[in-house]
Amino acid sequence: MQPILRDFLDKWVYPTGFTGPGVEFRLRQTERCLPLWDRLVTQAIEFAEKDLKSGSDEYKAVRARAGYAAEGPFMSLKQMSTQILSVEIDEQPKYIDLQRMRARQIWDEVKHGQLHADVLLRGGFIKREEELMDDSRANTQPKLSYFGMTAMFPHIHPLARAGQHYYNESMACLGIAATLSIIDDDLVRHQLHSQKAEELMHFMEGKYQIDAYALTPEDQKPIQEVFDFLLRPWAPQPSRALGGSQ
Amino acid sequence: MKVRIVENLCIACGLCREVCPERAVHPKMQDIHHMYEVIEHECTGCGDCLPYCPEPGALKQYEQPVFAR
């Protein structure tokens, strides 16, 4: 197992604030995630090493454009709006803590898009952010069903997002840690360091949701289904900016 | 003239970044709080950002010292 993953598990995954069926369910799902998390760290390290060996600064722009595409429209418009809407008015008193965390995430994702643009501006790859609007590389990505139902699936039930938070945001944390361990460039580190704490918060949100709310088989079912979905080989990975392949 | 951000008043909304005609406002380097900074040599001091700032006093126009010009 990659030392970066071992460190993440010891610091953030295994320590629990309380015990119960939610924690036991989460730890069972964690076992399923481990091989993919480990592979992601390996891949992020390989990508970072390859970028460094390229001998060009272009990799910074490639990462930033992919990150801009992934964390602008993809996260802010689609995922964040649907996860807010997954809690209906009648359920809001029950899930108000989740709603507040999700509202905070909209803010975060907007800022993350700005960070990628800032890498391109400070690096001299563009003069103005508006240039990105004419650049398909900053606005598209090879995710299946970019605006389709599979992407909406982790948001249909109020607790479904917990699976996505737990599995995907952990990959963002791991990809960031892996990339930071290799790339010593101020601009790349600027973008990664600035959003590192937030990705961890989103992972911890997933952890909290599962531990606190997934107490019965009925509550666990929508989360289990999202893990079943995300653990398929074709499920989306984090963007190139966060150590993923897209 | 130049403009700077008074950090203890700024709420990091980013409006100044969006309206700056020179794109002189940037996220601060490696700052987890997502505060902003005005890059002095990019700022022309036009003050277009000032009326958009929702937090009184968070953007401050100042005269650049002669020796720094």
Q: What is the pLDDT of residues A181-224, one digit of tens each?
A: 999 999 999 999 999 998 999 999 999 999 999 999 999 999 99
The percent of residues in chain A predicted with pLDDT above 90, rounded, is 55
What is the tens place of the pLDDT at every residue in A35-87?
Answer: 999 999 999 999 999 999 998 999 999 999 988 888 865 666 667 777 777 88
* Nearest chain B alpha carbon to A197: B32
Is the pLDDT at A240 greater than 80, yes or no?
A: no
SS (H, E, C) chain A: CCHHHHHHHHHHHCCCCCCCHHHHHHHHHHHHHHHHHHHHHHHHHHHHHHHHHCCCCHHHHHHHHHHHHHHHHHHHHHHHHHHHHCCCHHHCCCCHHHHHHHHHHHHHHHHHHHHHHHHHHHCCCCCCHHHHHHCHHHCCCCCCCCCCHHHHHHHCCCCHHHHHHHHHHHHHHHHHHHHHHHCCCHHHHHHHHHHHHHHHHHHHHHHHHHHHHCCCHHHHHHHHHHHHHHCCCCCCCCCHHHCCCC
> How much is the pLDDT for A138?
86
Q: How far apart are CA A192 and CA A173, in angstroms?
A: 10
Cα distance between residue A133 and residue A110, in whole Å: 16
The three state secondary structure string of A208-229 is HHHHHHCCCHHHHHHHHHHHHH
pTM of the predicted model as reported, rounded to 2 decimal places: 0.88
Report the residue of chain B nearest A115, measured CA to CA: B27
Interchain contact, B27 vs A186, CB within 8 Å: no
Cβ–Cβ under 8 Å, residues A183 and A195 = no
User: Which pair of structure tokens corresponds to residue A193?
Assistant: 């360091």
Of A22, A18, A118, nearest to A67 by C-alpha is A118
Number of other CB atoms surrounding residue A106 within 10 Å: 17
Residues in B whose CB is inside 8 Å of some CB of A read 14, 17, 23, 26-27, 29-32, 34
d(C-alpha A240, C-alpha A89), whole Å = 37
Domains defined along chain B, listed by start? 2-68 (3.30.70.20)
Q: A–B: how many Cβ contacts below 8 A? A: 33
* Host domain of residue A26: 3-242
Q: With contacts defined as CB-CB under 8 Å, which chain B residues touch A127?
A: 23
Q: Give bridge partners of residue B36 from the DSSP assignment.
A: B27
Q: Mark yes or no for CB contact B32/A197 under 8 Å.
A: yes
Name every chain A residue with its beta carbon within 8 A of the beta carbon of B26: 118, 121-122
Determine how many CB atoms are found less than 10 A away from the CB of residue A180: 18
**CATH code, A61:** 1.20.910
| CA distance to partner chain A, nearest, from residue B45 (Å) | 18
Look over chain A and give the mean of its residue pLDDT values, rounded to a whole number: 87
CA distance A90 to A96: 11
| ipTM of the complex in this document | 0.86
As for how many domains chain A has, the answer is 1
Query: What proportion of chain B, given as a percentage, has pLDDT over 90?
Result: 81
Contact between A190 and B29 using a beta-carbon 8 Å cutoff: yes
